[in-house]
Amino acid sequence: MVLTIGSLEITSTRSAWVRHRSFTACRPVRRDSHSASTSSPEAKHQQMSKAQAKAAAVVAEARKLPELVVFDLDYTLWPFWCEMYTTRDEPKLFPEARGVLEALKQKGVSMALASRTPTPDVARAFLKKLDLASGVFISQQLIPASNGFDHNSAQKDLRHFPAIQKETGIPYNKMLFYDDEDRNVHRVSKLGVTSVPDKVPVCNGQLYMCKALVKPQIAVSS
């Protein structure tokens, strides 16, 4: 089975994935790689500023903002699976992700993480390298499945979101959730959390993530 995410196609088995026209500029850079980045710091700053401005404009349209926005990590904020890399690699976010996060932060919207990555140590290392380890997410629930990949243990509606709710005190009906896996979206939506499915990728250049605040019909709610 092949799963298509934006312009990326991958096999359903994580250990045997295939990339086609993949997000080359967004994938982690191997530490032993000799390839240099083609984007200057000025270009990256300009890109982030434009994304933040677009996100801020969309957020400004919302009549009522959620108290908390919860993000998955793999293929939601960044275009890869953590377990495919090591703590020595250099990660990159989706092109517009940081601008979206900054726009939400400036509006006073709290943010949290809910990930079932089988390598939480890599995820934490990547968050630190991206300057997202502290001061951005008020709760970071990186809880792997018991054997890393099974679909039964450490479900987000049973483990991650109860932990987030307990830590933040924010009720489920005041949360917004983004995840690239439909099963997570539908399970969490039953808690009363407005959840955005894979058909609405977070940072694909169209900022559907923020538009869900304005047009909730594109989201799944209880």
Q: Which residues contact 10 (CB under 8 A, 6 or more apart)?
A: 2, 3, 17, 18, 19
Which of 80-100 are b and which e, b meaning 16 or more Cβ less than 10 Å from the residue's Cβ? bbbbebeeebebbbbbbbbbb
Active-site residue flag, 74 = yes
Active-site residue flag, 32 = no
Strands 110-115 and 137-142: parallel
Catalytic residue among 32, 72, 157, 179: 72
Two structure tokens written together for 188:
């969490």
Two structure tokens written together for 12:
């359903």
Catalytic residue among 32, 74, 180, 198: 74
How far apart are the C-alpha atoms of 155 and 175, rounded to whole Å?
Answer: 17
Catalytic residues: 72, 74
